[in-house]
Amino acid sequence: MTTKITLFLITRNEADKLAKCLNSAKDIVDEIVVVDDSQDNTAQIAQQFGARVVTHPFEGFTAQKNFALRQVKTEWALSLDADEVLTPQLAQEIRQAVENTPFDGFELTRVNCFLGQRMQHGGLKEEHILRLVRTQKAQYEGGLVHEKFCVQGQTARLKNVFMHYSYNDIETYFEKFNKYTTLAAQTLHQNGRKRCFAAVLCIIPLEFLRRYVLKLGFLDGIRGFIWASFSTFYIFVKYMKLWLLNTRDAKK
């Protein structure tokens, strides 16, 4: 009997990306579960691939993904984001890996693309991320953003890669930028974190230096410079949003 796998995703206005993602995995999974909170036709696109769509208001990445994981009924669960695409080689490796394995989870290797080009440096080099797990042994941990997939048991790493087409244009980057910096600031605020303005001024140049020089972002050309600059600005905006939340608290 073939071991069953469910692909599960959380989505929010992903109509322009979702079909490519689902098409890359549809032949090696037994079910697709999409937990959706969209205003566009994301749900309809998911249904075209036979997905079971569950509408659920966004609660933060950790809570939303744990809710999606709870919808999975098969022994194995595969997690992807809508802007991620399996290569055919990895798809077949996943199908084979879950058969009669002693492992409870597998890390997959993600290749990041930025503004239409594969990135090799600046913190965007290949990442090894837990994405394939035994459903009953897994959960997400973390705050409103930067969730971590965890599994009880032994894990291994598959050799083939999947693609991450995160930001094909600058407009998309800043749409996500605003949401992520807000959630990151809220998480810090909930944890009682504070950061003085002088400390932020010291962090900013160090963050750019880390990404552009120490992590060799300059070798990715103009895209490396843009990524290092945007990532540095992300830190600044996150802490300014945290400062505003703490300031409002002090006035209450």
Give per-residue pLDDT as tens, 40-88. 999 999 999 999 999 999 989 999 999 999 999 999 999 999 999 999 9
Of 152, 167, 182, the position where a domain reaches its end is 167
* Same domain, residue pair 130 and 231: no
Q: Are residues 69 and 50 in the same domain?
A: yes
165: closest CA among 78, 94, 87? 87
In a shared domain, residues 79 and 143: yes
CB–CB of 78/5 below 8 Å? Answer: yes
Distance CA 29, CA 76 (A): 9
Helix axes 197-209, 221-251, angle to 10 degrees: 170
| Local confidence pLDDT in tens for the 252 residues of the chain | 689 999 999 999 999 999 999 999 999 999 999 999 999 999 999 999 999 999 999 989 999 999 999 999 999 999 999 999 999 999 999 999 999 999 999 999 999 999 999 999 998 888 999 999 999 999 999 988 889 999 999 999 999 999 999 898 999 899 999 999 999 999 999 988 887 788 888 999 999 999 999 999 999 999 999 999 999 999 999 999 999 999 988 887
What is the spatial distance between Cα 218 and Cα 231, in angstroms, rounded to a whole number?
14
Q: Cβ-count burial of 108 within 10 angstroms (0-12 exposed, 13-18 middle, 19+ buried)?
A: buried
CA dist., res. 14 & res. 78, Å (int): 18
Is residue 234 packed enough to be buried (19+ CB in 10 Å), middle (13-18) or exposed (0-12)? middle
Domains in the chain: how many in total? 2
Residue 163 sits in the same domain as residue 128: yes
Rounded Cα distance, 164 and 171, in Å: 17
89: which residues sit within 8 A by CB, 6+ positions away?
160, 161
| Domain containing residue 177 | 170-251
207 and 119 inside one domain: no
Whole-model pTM: value is 0.90
Q: What is the pLDDT of residues 6-27, one digit of tens each?
A: 999 999 999 999 999 999 999 9
